[in-house]
């Protein structure tokens, strides 16, 4: 999956106060667009040494992979010629980008979203400041302390004997099948979320809900939990057309996979295909 970057290693501890080295990476985002140079199938990230002293002074430390640090630029201009905001994520299948850089993109976007949406205190509205001792934003007026947000969600592999239910979203033009997914609601367990999402999206009762594996998915600020479950009773699919445009039972060994192994969805479909789940 996207976080499986060994032998590379992520250091996600916060190290405030450091100054970037010239070869450290700089990331900036507009939605899902990343500031980069994109030529053919090659992606190049911005380096700190190419920025002005003023922009370097405003960089926020994000994390390190091996000995290379990644910083966040919150500006949207003043960058070197040739670098602009690119929507490369929808093209990820055709790009030759190292997996650790793809993981850095997802993790960096997660943190960038958090910084962007917490510039002011949610309690009193005052501008927030960076904490000195940990990755947190603090309000100097009311002492409210804000930590990075993780939104729990589930990925669901519904099985019916030797068949797996695969779906396509109604609002996303993705060319590949996926599994059902949904966010956990207040007061709800992960298992209750699985049962509710399956009933809402395809009208099926399920049983034997069992946990498989988790995955950080910074693309949507998620922490994903994967579950398999068995259909309970009638396997006839009744689609919620607002959520899904297709829901299809596919036999083991014939489940069409996505062209990379980034997602928990794809790994769960592959594990079912290979008879391991």
What is the tens place of the pLDDT at every residue in 231-241?
Answer: 999 999 999 88
How does pLDDT run across 140-193, given as a tens digit for each residue?
A: 999 999 999 999 999 999 999 999 999 998 877 777 899 999 999 999 999 999
Number of residues in the chain: 277
- Identify whether residues 62 and 138 lie together within a single domain: no
* H or E stretch covering 162: none
- Identify whether residues 143 and 161 lie together within a single domain: no
CATH of the domain at 204: 3.90.79.10
| 68-72 and 25-27 strand pairing | parallel
* H or E stretch covering 119: none
Q: Measuring CA to CA, which residue among 200, 199, 229 is closest to residue 212?
A: 229
Which residues is 211 bridged to in the sheet? 227
Please give the residue range of the domain that contains residue 58: 10-117
Q: Measuring CA to CA, which residue among 115, 103, 94, 83 is closest to residue 41?
A: 94
How far apart CA 26 and CA 20 sit, in angstroms, is 9
- End-of-domain residue from the set 148, 169, 204: 148
pLDDT at residue 91 tops 90: no
* pLDDT computed for residue 82 by the predictor: 87
Look at residue 1 and tell me if it is in a domain: no
Look at residue 113 and tell me if it is in a domain: yes
Give the side-chain half-sphere CA count within 13 A for 86: 22
**What pTM does this model have?**
0.89
């Amino acid at each position: 999956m996207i976080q499986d970057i060994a032998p590379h290693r992520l250091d996600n501890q916060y190290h405030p106060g450091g100054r970037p080295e010239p070869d450290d990476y700089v990331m900036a985002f507009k939605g899902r667009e990343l500031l980069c140079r994109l030529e053919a199938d090659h992606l190049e990230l911005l380096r700190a040494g190419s920025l002005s002293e003023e922009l370097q002074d405003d960089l926020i430390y994000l994390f390190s992979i091996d000995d290379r640090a990644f910083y966040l630029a919150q500006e949207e201009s003043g960058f070197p010629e040739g670098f602009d905001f690119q929507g490369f994520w929808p093209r990820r299948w055709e790009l030759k980008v190292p997996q650790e850089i793809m993981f850095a993109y997802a993790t960096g976007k997660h943190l960038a979203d958090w910084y962007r949406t917490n510039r002011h205190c949610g309690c009193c509205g005052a501008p927030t400041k960076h904490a000195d001792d940990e990755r947190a934003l603090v309000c100097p007026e009311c002492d409210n302390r804000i930590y990075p947000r993780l939104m729990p969600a589930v990925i669901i592999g519904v099985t019916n004997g030797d068949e797996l239910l695969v779906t396509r979203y109604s609002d996303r033009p993705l060319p590949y099948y996926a599994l059902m997914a949904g966010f956990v609601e207040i007061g709800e367990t992960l298992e209750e979320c699985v049962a509710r999402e399956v009933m809402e999206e395809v009208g099926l009762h399920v049983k034997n809900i069992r946990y498989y594996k988790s995955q950080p998915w910074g693309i949507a600020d998620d922490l994903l939990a994967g579950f398999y479950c068995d259909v309970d009773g009638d396997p006839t699919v009744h689609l919620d057309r607002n959520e899904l445009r297709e829901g299809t039972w596919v036999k083991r060994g014939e489940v069409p996979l996505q062209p990379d192994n980034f997602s928990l969805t794809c790994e769960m479909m592959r594990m079912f295909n290979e008879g391991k789940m």
